[in-house]
């Protein structure tokens, strides 16, 4: 597994999942809180993946140019960022527009029942 990641497992968990994951979570939250589109969260998390590879190489002597390590680390960061984006977006929709939407779970919202439909 260390050959695929390009670093030791504790380095991957500590740096990528915990530290950079927290930054990716804050990034996804910030993008959703300012009503920006989801592709911006993906772009910013991709850039965090580059920073993660640099820090892995610079601080821990990992293989910085290993493509598989970059893809796995970036996929983890994008996943965390998208989770934060969706959680924040749903929370904002139901608090910003309580007369229109209600929670349908942690990941989704729905239109409130009894709404008049606009005639077509």
Q: Which two tokens stand for residue 51?
A: 């920073």
What is the structure's pLDDT at 39? 97
The pLDDT of 105-117, averaged and rounded, is 75
Task: Give the residue carrying structure tokens 């804050």.
Answer: 26
Angle 67-71-73 from CA coordinates, rounded to 5°: 115
Asked if 52 contacts 73 with a C-beta cutoff of 8 angstroms, the reply is yes
Lowest mean pLDDT among 1-5, 23-27, 48-52, 72-76: 1-5
Q: Which two tokens stand for residue 96?
A: 């910003």
What residue segments make up the domains of the chain, in order of their start?
A: 2-85
What is the structure's pLDDT at 112? 84
pTM of the model: 0.88
Q: Is the pLDDT of residue 120 over 60?
A: no
Query: How many CB atoms lie under 10 A from the CB of residue 103?
Result: 14
Looking only at Cα atoms, what is the longest distance across the chain? 64
């Amino acid at each position: 597994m260390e050959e695929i990641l390009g670093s030791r497992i504790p380095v991957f968990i500590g740096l990528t999942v915990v530290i950079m994951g927290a930054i990716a979570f804050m990034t996804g939250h910030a993008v959703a809180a300012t009503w920006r589109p989801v592709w911006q969260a993906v772009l910013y998390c991709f850039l965090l993946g580059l920073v993660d590879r640099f820090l892995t190489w610079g601080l821990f002597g990992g293989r910085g140019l290993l493509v598989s390590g970059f893809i796995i680390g970036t996929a983890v960061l994008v996943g965390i960022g998208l989770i934060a984006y969706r959680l924040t977006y749903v929370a904002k929709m139901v608090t910003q527009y309580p007369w229109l939407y209600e929670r349908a779970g942690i990941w989704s919202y729905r239109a409130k029942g009894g709404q008049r439909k606009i005639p077509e």
